[in-house]
Amino acid sequence: MSCDSLRLTVRQLQCERDERVLFRDLAFQASAGEIWQITGANGAGKTTLLRILVGLHGFYEGEVRWHSPLAPDLLYLGHQPGVREELTARENLRFSAALNNQPGDVDAALDAVDLYGFEDVPAAHLSAGQKRRVALARLWLAPKKVWILDEPYTAIDQNGVARLDQRIRDAAGNGTLVLYTSHHRVGDDVRRLHLGAEAPA
């Protein structure tokens, strides 16, 4: 399988923010099919680490390398769900599917995240959890090789958590590398990366 060759190597990664060292000498190697949980206290730099990995944050020292035949085919769900309130759930999802070149049945994906019947409701009328679900529905569209999820469990109810756990394990089983930040543990075989508090610079 071609995705077996996908690897992410992080070496001596250091990031400073507002004169404060977020993390230093961070090193890990992740490969296809693994699930990585990134933990740490609030403000430890979890979101910044994920933004560095997807290439949104460029102010760091050290090395981040994706070993893959092509540019990594990644799916990033940020801290904000990326859902515009003026658009309906379906319009939001259809746009991100087109933008990310992710074909798939949009309505079935919304159904999978329990938004059946809310497809045509403007996102302004959805709850915080439902907005998060609109963003999460992308996980049910065409597969990607890397999932980078920033606090995907925020505002999700118990039923949704179980379903998301299952989805993440299935994706990893199919060779997707999943990195997520949360205090929730998806399963026993999850690798953990803890961002500890650093002494002030």
Per CB under 8 A, residues contacting another protein are: 54-59, 71, 73-74, 76, 78-87, 91, 94-96, 98-101, 122
* Smaller CB separation from another protein, 80 or 166: 80
* Smaller CB separation from another protein, 142 or 190: 142
Q: Using alpha carbons only, how large is the chain's radius of gyration in Å?
A: 17
CB of 187 to another protein, least distance (A): 26
CB of 155 to another protein, least distance (A): 14
CB of 137 to another protein, least distance (A): 13
* Contact residues for 136 (Cβ-Cβ < 8 A; gap 6+): 77, 113, 152, 156, 164
* Smaller CB separation from another protein, 55 or 173: 55
* Smaller CB separation from another protein, 142 or 161: 142
How many Cα atoms are found within 13 Å in the side-chain-facing hemisphere of 20?
10
Name the pairing type of β-strands 7-17 and 74-77.
unpaired
- Compute the distance between CA of residue 20 and CA of residue 14 in angstroms, rounded to an integer: 11
* Contact residues for 15 (Cβ-Cβ < 8 A; gap 6+): 21, 22, 23, 45, 48, 49, 52, 57, 59, 60, 61
Measure Cα distances from 171 to 4, 13, 53, 69, 143 in Å.
14, 27, 19, 20, 8
CB of 52 to another protein, least distance (A): 9
CB of 86 to another protein, least distance (A): 4
Check: CB of residue 50 under 8 Å from CB of residue 178. Answer: no
